[in-house]
């Protein structure tokens, strides 16, 4: 085993100087756990992530407890975390009732969850592709009125387990509508991890051609087929500078059984450190956090970097 604790730094062309990592582990990661994690552990997880320098930590979700019981304690989590100045703690809300609960918990950033495909819209939202925006419209309107930053997640952007290949134009239509309705960020979800780099560059190009500023585009890759880092690099070379990731690679999708773990945050940071791209994240503290959580969950850490640094 190599004794290297950090990568050599050699830059490449067409990369941003700095990448904003959108940490999704406490929300997207923990919602997929088979057992409910205690509130104190969730709070400690979030505080450790912010201490490692992550600028955005998606803290929880305000959805019905019977839908995602793992995150039913969202208000307690928001009350317990140590809010670091300058750090953002977004929460996911599905509708206006969720927004009310989020605002009552002093959430200052919110996100909504849309689908790029008909089947997933029906299974995940109980809506059709054409009517899903009706569910979000009151949330988006109120957030815009109250000047609350709102992110739009779009699932199944590159492939769908029921429909197969996804028409890029369909994805563009959903993203444009979210952006037009006031979303400051639109995150492209490779929910089942089937994307490849050419597909990523093509979709980002189409979104820019449709009038969405590349600075408003984020990417959210799953590593089902081992493509998450390659796809991330393709996105960065296309001008994207916001990347979603999950500490230790935890998470998947509770409504898409073929979806495996998210891109591991420490694997992303290791690559970006090696490219000389700034993140503000301490990979040592981050790795220690992922190992701590894996130990709590009673299973090996899924991150390659954490596994390598463990030995």
Show the tokens assigned to 287.
């790795």
The burial of 59, by beta-carbon neighbours within 10 Å (0-12 exposed, 13-18 middle, 19 or more buried), is given as buried
Smallest CA-to-CA distance from 111 within 79, 70, 141, 139 is with 139
**Count of C-beta atoms within a 10 Å radius of residue 162:** 12
**How many angstroms separate the Cα of 244 from the Cα of each of 4, 57, 103?**
26, 10, 23
Active-site residue, from 157, 175, 183, 253: 253
- DSSP secondary structure string for all residues of 27-38: IIIGGG-SSPPP
Clarify whether 253 is annotated catalytic: yes
Query: Which helix (H) or strand (E) element contains residue 151?
Result: strand 150-155
Find the largest Cα–Cα distance for the chain: 55
Distance between CA 45 and CA 167 in Å, rounded? 38
Show the tokens assigned to 269.
């940071």
Show the tokens assigned to 69.
């019981």
Distance between CA 307 and CA 289 in Å, rounded? 13
Distance between CA 4 and CA 71 in Å, rounded? 38
Helices (H) and strands (E) in the chain, counts: 11, 9
**Count of C-beta atoms within a 10 Å radius of residue 296:** 13
Residues with catalytic roles: 253
């Amino acid at each position: 085993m190599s004794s290297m604790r950090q990568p050599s730094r050699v830059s490449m062309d067409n990369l941003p100087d700095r990448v904003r990592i959108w940490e999704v582990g406490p929300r997207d990661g923990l919602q997929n756990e088979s057992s409910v994690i205690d509130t104190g552990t969730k709070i400690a997880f979030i505080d450790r992530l912010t201490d490692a320098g992550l600028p955005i930590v998606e803290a929880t979700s305000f959805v019905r407890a019977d839908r995602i019981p793992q995150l039913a304690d969202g208000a307690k989590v928001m009350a317990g975390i140590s809010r670091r100045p300058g750090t953002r703690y977004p929460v996911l809300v599905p509708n206006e009732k969720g927004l009310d609960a989020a605002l009552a918990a002093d959430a200052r950033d919110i996100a909504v969850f849309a689908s790029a495909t008909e089947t997933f819209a029906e299974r995940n939202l109980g809506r059709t592709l054409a009517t899903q925006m009706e569910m979000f419209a009151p949330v988006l309107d109120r957030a815009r009125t109250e000047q609350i930053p709102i992110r739009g997640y779009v699932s199944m952007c590159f492939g769908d387990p029921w429909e197969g290949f996804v028409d890029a134009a369909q994805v563009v239509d959903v993203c444009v509508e979210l952006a037009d309705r006031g979303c400051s960020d639109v995150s492209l979800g490779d929910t089942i991890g089937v994307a490849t780099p050419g597909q990523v560059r093509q979709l980002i190009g189409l979104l820019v051609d449709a009038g969405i500023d590349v600075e408003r585009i984020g990417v959210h890759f799953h590593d089902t087929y081992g493509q998450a880092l390659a796809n991330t690099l393709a996105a960065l070379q296309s001008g994207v500078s916001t990347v979603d990731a999950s500490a230790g690679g935890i998470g998947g999708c509770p409504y898409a059984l073929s979806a495996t773990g998210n891109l591991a945050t420490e694997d992303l940071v290791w690559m970006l450190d090696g490219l000389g791209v700034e993140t503000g994240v301490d990979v040592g503290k981050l790795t220690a956090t992922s190992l701590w959580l894996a130990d709590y969950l009673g299973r090996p850490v899924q991150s390659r970097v954490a596994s390598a640094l463990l030995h």
